[in-house]
């Protein structure tokens, strides 16, 4: 098994039999505490966890949860397999409440109505490019990219085979209204942290 750590703090592990990767994800997270494991383009990618990243997730979750109807729930960092080469753990994902109540270790991508990723320095390409394409190709209706490095929120909608055809970018400056397939939601971006070192 090959393992290397890239300069940007992201680690890639290439395993010849990608079908066995899913069963190894939790093991890699145990071996490398402070990292989140995903399968991206057939490789295990370990993304470092940072306080601003986690604080952003918690603040957005706290804002969105009261706005959802009883039929919807939010989950965080739970595996969503797409194919042998892609398995993501969205920072936040909205799925039917009855499915979330099953308390599984993974959920089909078809259940996700809204995916949210918080960008860290090592996840820029994955969040803006790879997941933009993969989430859209699987028909996830809405995708939000929240970027503490730039102080921006990007809303993506109208999924197509190569990415989302609709996209707007908002600076952290107040309330952003997002029309989604599960209703109109708001995010107060002024409450979100901006990384001073970015």
8 Å CB contact between 186 and 177: yes
Specify the range with the lowest mean pLDDT, choosing from 4-8, 25-29, 118-122, 157-161: 4-8
Average pLDDT of the chain, as a whole number: 84
pLDDT digits (tens, 9 = 90+) for 22-73: 445 655 556 655 667 777 887 777 777 778 888 999 999 999 999 999 999 9
pTM of the full structure: 0.83
Sign of CA pseudo-dihedral 97, 99, 101, 103: negative
The rounded radius of gyration (Å) of the Cα atoms in the chain is 16
Q: How many of the other CB atoms lie within 10 Å of CB of 191?
A: 14
- At CB < 8 A and 24+ separation, what contacts does 120-126 make? 120/47, 120/48, 120/49, 120/50, 120/53, 120/148, 120/149, 121/8, 121/9, 121/149, 121/198, 122/6, 122/8, 122/9, 122/10, 122/47, 122/48, 123/10, 123/47, 124/149, 126/38, 126/40, 126/45, 126/47
Supply 53's token pair: 């990243």
Q: Dump pLDDT digits (tens) for 162-175.
A: 999 999 999 999 99
CB 25 within 8 A of CB 36: no
End-to-end CA distance of the chain: 34
* Segment 69-110, tens digit of pLDDT: 999 999 998 989 988 888 899 999 999 999 999 999 889 999
């Amino acid at each position: 098994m090959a393992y290397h750590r890239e300069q940007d703090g992201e680690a890639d592990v290439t395993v010849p039999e990608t079908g066995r990767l899913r069963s190894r994800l939790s093991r890699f997270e145990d071996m490398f505490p402070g990292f989140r494991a995903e399968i991206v383009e057939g490789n295990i990618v370990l993304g470092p966890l940072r306080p601003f990243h986690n604080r952003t997730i918690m603040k957005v979750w706290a804002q969105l949860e009261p706005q959802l109807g009883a039929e919807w729930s939010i989950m965080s960092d739970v595996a969503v397999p797409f194919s042998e080469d892609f398995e993501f753990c969205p920072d936040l994902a909205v799925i039917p409440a009855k499915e979330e109540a099953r308390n599984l270790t993974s959920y089909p991508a078809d259940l996700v109505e809204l995916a949210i990723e918080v960008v860290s320095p090592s996840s820029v390409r994955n969040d803006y490019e790879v997941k933009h394409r993969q989430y859209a190709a699987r028909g996830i209706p809405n995708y939000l990219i929240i970027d503490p490095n730039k102080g921006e929120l990007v809303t993506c909608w109208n999924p197509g085979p190569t990415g989302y055809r609709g996209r707007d970018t908002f600076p952290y400056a107040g309330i952003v209204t997002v029309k989604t397939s599960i209703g109109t939601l708001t995010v107060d971006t002024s409450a979100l942290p901006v990384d001073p070192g970015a």
